[in-house]
């Protein structure tokens, strides 16, 4: 079974600093990978996804992630944090051609301080 590990349940950064949220996956075959964001009392919003092709994926709100097969990682980055980026972030994996069963990581809560 495929699984996802998010390192750090809480990450704190200063406004304007680099955001780095870590995600590692375990899979015997190349999976599809995703990052979602959840604001309080809301559902999940897709930030970006990797299925095939270019390993550097750009998403919404200035976020990007790089698929590194050799490291089984899919870390999320943003060059400069905004206060509005404070939220819960989830990494998810789906086996290719599995339909829509997503396996989510435990989530990382991002705090942005002034």
- In the bound state with other proteins, the residue whose beta carbon lies nearer, of 81 and 94, is 94
Distance separating alpha carbons of residues 84 and 110, to the nearest angstrom: 10
- In the bound state with other proteins, the residue whose beta carbon lies nearer, of 3 and 14, is 3
Q: Among residues 17, 44, 64, 77, which is the contact residue for other proteins, using CB under 8 A? A: 44
Q: Rounded to the nearest whole angstrom, what is the least distance from the CB of residue 10 to other proteins in the complex? A: 13
Q: Give the CA angle between residues 76, 86, 91 to the nearest 5°.
A: 35
Kindly state the DSSP code that residue 16 receives in the 8-state scheme.
T
Count interface residues toward other proteins (CB under 8 A): 25
Token digits of residue 42: 């809301």
Residues that bind other proteins (CB under 8 A): 32, 36, 41-46, 49, 51, 90, 92, 94, 96-107
């Amino acid at each position: 079974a495929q699984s996802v590990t998010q390192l750090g349940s809480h990450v704190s950064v200063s406004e304007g600093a680099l955001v780095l949220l870590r995600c590692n996956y375990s899979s015997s075959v190349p999976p599809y990978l995703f990052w979602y964001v959840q604001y309080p009392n809301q559902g999940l919003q897709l930030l970006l996804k990797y299925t095939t092709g270019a390993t550097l994926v750009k998403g919404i709100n200035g976020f990007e992630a790089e698929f590194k097969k050799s490291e089984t990682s899919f870390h999320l980055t943003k060059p400069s944090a905004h206060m509005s980026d404070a939220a819960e972030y989830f990494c998810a994996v789906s086996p290719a051609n599995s339909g829509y069963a997503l396996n989510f990581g435990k989530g990382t809560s991002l705090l942005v301080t002034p």
